Chain A
Amino acid sequence: MHRYRFVLFRPLQFLPVLFGISIITFILVRLIPGDPARVLLGARSTPTAIARIRAQYGLDEPLWLQYFYFLENLGKGEMGKSILYKIDVLKLIATRIEPTLTLVLTSVLLSILIAVPMSALAARNNGRLADHAVRIVSTLGIGFPPFWLALMLIILFSVRLGVFPVSGYGETIGDKLAHLVLPSLTIALSLSAVLTRSLRAAMIVVLKSDLATAARARGMPESLVFWRHVLPNSLVPTVNLLAVNIGWLIGGTVVVETVFAIPGMGQLLVRAIFSRDYMVVQGVAMVFACATVLVNFLADIVTVSLDPRVRL
């Protein structure tokens, strides 16, 4: 299947991309005003103590040498020590990545489960009541800020109905998923709105297209025409839109993680920025960047599998 040949070769292109990302995050992090040693030692620290801490973390070295150490550590599978948590950044991230990853995954699944039927309903009833209803709902979904949605969901489902936990993250799988329902729903409500708008528009075009007419002309019932011909031909633009949004989501779970007190990457990043924990900010930014690259790669694979005409 030479259509999928790029799956073998595309990863080679990741190396220069990731190298570039590492340089940019390295420099950007150091442009943050403030001194991590001073933050660590508090307001009444002595200059000598600060100098000692700076030397300990290599912060007194020239910038290019710091970057060299960073790369050297990366080669050993380390990302330097967190100033705040005193452990290696990679290990730190490993403890925090699971909640975020699960949250992103459940949110995306939920969005698709909402967006596809909503778009189908709207497109097949184009111009009628159901279509207008879907359009209003999706406009609201885009319009409402997530933190407000989150609070409303907590008030309704946790406080009033007591169905789902208010905040935090569980220990067992079932417990974790229960904790993730409301956060995922918060994200999915706005993400599915974006997807629905794109998918609905594509479906309306394909429903009127020649290929749908041809399928009807060979006697296919409308439901088969829709699910077998219209849907597959409408998906590609939305898949790419979803990929862009997942990239944004991975770095954008901060608000939701904060509202629901989920110990994930977003929370870690915010705390690290406030305490000038360079190594952590750098590490988290690198992970986000890698994830974005990976998501786009996956989207390319999905696109190729959906449309045999696409060659990458």
Chain B
Amino acid sequence: MSSPVLSIRDLTVKVPIDGETRTLIDAVSFDLAKGEILGLVGESGSGKSMICRALVKLLPSPAIAITGGSVLLEGKDLATLGEDAMREVRGAKIGMIFQNPTSHLDPVMRIGDQIAEGIRYHQGFGHEQARAAAVEILGQVGFPDPERQYDNYPHEFSGGMRQRAMIAVALSCNPKILIADEPTTALDVTIQAQILRLLMDLRDRRGLSIILITHDLGIVAQTCDSIVVLRNGQLLEHGPKRRVLAEPRHAYTVSLLKSHPSMPDEGGAVEVEQIAQQTRLQPLLEIDDLVVRFPTPRLGLFSGRKKQIAAVNGVSLRVMPGETIGIVGESGSGKSTLARAILGLTPLSSGHITFGGSDLAQQPRQTLAKLRTEAAMVFQDPYNALNPRLTIGDMLAEVLKVQGNTPPDGIPERIGELLDLVELDRAFMTRRPRSMSGGQCQRAGIARALAVNPKLIIADECVAALDVTIQAQIIDLFRDLKTRMNLTLLFIAHDLAIVRNLCDRVVVMYRGEIVEEGRCDAVFANPRHAYTAALISAIPDIDPDKPLPKGDLPPRNEPKGAPVLRGQPLISMQ
């Protein structure tokens, strides 16, 4: 390739903490060629976001500083450039898009104005000219009606469209380089595929160079030309994509590749025979024609009565003791509402939930008491689900005391056992969540769920917030626990690969309904519903020769057999 657009040499970023200096980025060097998509891969804390922040000198705290190295862009060294000169670089030379478009877009400013703002400032356009340019860009990133949508606010769009808007903002001043920091992590798989496709398309049309930060090797395999692997601020490996994926040179890259959930897994084979035997037993949980409706806010001036939206619409499901069921679907498909309904955390509109033989609607008090002692939930965000003021020991003791099954003098020993179960050192008893990593917190959350000695555990996206290697560990832990304790597990996830590795049966939800249900291997090998097939094909495979689906993805609004919900408040793309 020709001479690099951006050349990073020995970039070093340090921060002084408590008198000593910690190195966040340790002499990292790499080049970015014109039209290249470079994947920055690493776990949280590896410094991949920090590098990109350093490139545009928007470091999260004034204490963090570039202490050495150079960043060459068009012959200028950004590392030594002053703040005024940097403003000319940001937006105009290097555009940035972020993981969470919802928090990075200004909620009280019209989408179009946020795009036009940069154009007016950097290119000195007038109001009308800037508006025309912004409308043009909105069209390019896939807004179907840019002229009208210019005046919409961010909250009026779906997550995918917000990310498109964010990309439009980044492109507004014709940058040469685009830095994309986990741009699809917060999105559903089918939307993720659309956004990745858009990025590649923009690269082709505009000759953009893109630095793509991600933890998902599947995305790298599908979109990038070269890969940089980082750990603890150090560059471990840098090379063309195929070489790194096929013959990783560093041991850490090997372990990253191994943890990727789309890799075939020998350990998690499903004992089909065992399940067949269990069907003679009574189901532990039986859901019959469950409907959960929520009122939607009134919209138009004359729309009169409040409309209701059915988050769960006629779902029936039988769960046998000891079974592991994966519930998959995109955001808004009703997975979490179903979980909350099962635990009696949200009122049922109609239908029945029977847990261990008692009906939640008919004997609410009795069934709730049963649920509270025999079912438990593990949450998505391990930090927010734990009380920051309590030590892990106090938190578990609280559950055990309320439960009342453990004699008071037996509680410390029981806490120790629980920590052993989730493979946390007993020393964690005295730690608080803020001094623990995400994976350790999630283990504590699982220990809390196990404290009630449950028959049923509902795990709601419990690994979505974790790094891949940690994800793999938590999945192993679940697999181990379910065989050891004969747990029944409802595993809610949007990541199909994880469900495929862990679960016996899979239930695919779409807009509040079950569109497909069956044994995991059967469903994944031979999906019968178009939506399931679309979900599966949208997973970025780690094999670069299995590309993302080329053509248009199946329409979001009207898949076969699924009725369109009225009163949908979001403007979606098609």
Contacts and interface: CB of A to CB of B under 8 A. Distances in A.
Contacts of B100: 210
B335 to A, nearest CB: 25
Contacts of A232: 106, 108-109
B479 interface: no
B103 interface: yes
Interface in B78-111: 87-92, 95-96, 98, 100, 103-109
B118 A219 contact: yes
Contact of B108 (A210, A213, A219, A233): A233
A43 to B, nearest CB: 63
A218 B170 contact: yes
B91 A308 contact: no
B106 A229 contact: yes
Contacts of B109: 228-229, 232
A215 to B, nearest CB: 7
Contacts, number: 86
Nearest to B84: A221
Contacts of B104: 210-211, 213-214
Contact of A211 (B90, B105, B121): B105
Contacts of A308: 107-108, 153, 155
Contacts of A215: 106, 117
B58 A218 contact: no
B121 A233 contact: no
A15 interface: no
Interface residues of A, number: 24
A288 B214 CA distance: 59
A3 to B, nearest CB: 10
A311 interface: yes
Contacts of B118: 218-220
A5 B298 CA distance: 10
Contacts of B89: 219
A224 interface: yes
Contact of B96 (A214, A224, A228, A233): A214
Contacts of B173: 218-219
A216 interface: yes
A173 interface: no
Nearest to A224: B121
Contact of B58 (A216, A224, A228, A311): A216
B40 interface: no
B251 interface: no
A217 interface: yes
A216 B166 CA distance: 14
Interface in B104-151: 104-109, 117-118, 121-122
A309 interface: yes
A209 interface: yes
B56 A2 contact: no
Contact of B90 (A216, A224, A229, A309): A216
B169 interface: yes
A48 to B, nearest CB: 63
Nearest to B57: A216
A306 B103 contact: no
Given A217-B90, A218-B172, A309 B103 contact: no
Given A215-B117, A219-B88, 13 more contacts: A2-B300, A211-B107, A214-B166, A214-B169, A217-B96, A218-B95, A218-B96, A218-B169, A219-B87, A219-B91, A219-B92, A228-B109, A308-B107
Interface of B: 56, 58, 87-92, 95-96, 98, 100, 103-109, 117-118, 121-122, 153, 155, 166, 169-170, 172-173, 297, 299-301
Enumerate the 9 nearest inter-chain pairs by beta-carbon distance, A residue then B residue, closest first: A219-B91, A218-B91, A219-B90, A210-B103, A214-B104, A217-B96, A308-B153, A218-B118, A210-B104
